[in-house]
Amino acid sequence: MKSLFHLLLSSLYFSHFSSLFLHFGGLPWFSLIDILISSPPPWLLPFLVSLVMLLTTPFILMLIGDTSFISMY
């Protein structure tokens, strides 16, 4: 049963990446990620930091018990 699940998962993974490969005109995703890691654009780090802060702030406020932010949403 476990091997069947792994086979299904690997076929979905392969079909997803092959469709991305065709969509980007033959440029595989992993090389695009390698390019971003080796020479990132200057806006990438501030964008990622602000995205993480935006997504985690409500959860951090809930953890410390401040629920006044709920009225903002």
Whole-prediction pTM value? 0.38
What confidence score (pLDDT) does residue 60 get?
Answer: 78
Per residue in 8-30, is it b (16+ CB within 10 Å) or e — as a string? eeeeeeeeeeeeeeeeeeeeeee
Backbone dihedral region for residue 60 (phi beyond 0: left; psi -120 to 50: alpha; all else: beta): alpha
What confidence score (pLDDT) does residue 61 get?
Answer: 76
Dist. CA 35–CA 41, nearest whole Å: 10
What confidence score (pLDDT) does residue 13 get?
Answer: 54
Q: Where are the domains of the chain?
A: 1-39, 40-73
Mean pLDDT by 10 residues, the chain (73 residues): 58 53 54 70 84 84 72 60
What confidence score (pLDDT) does residue 48 get?
Answer: 86
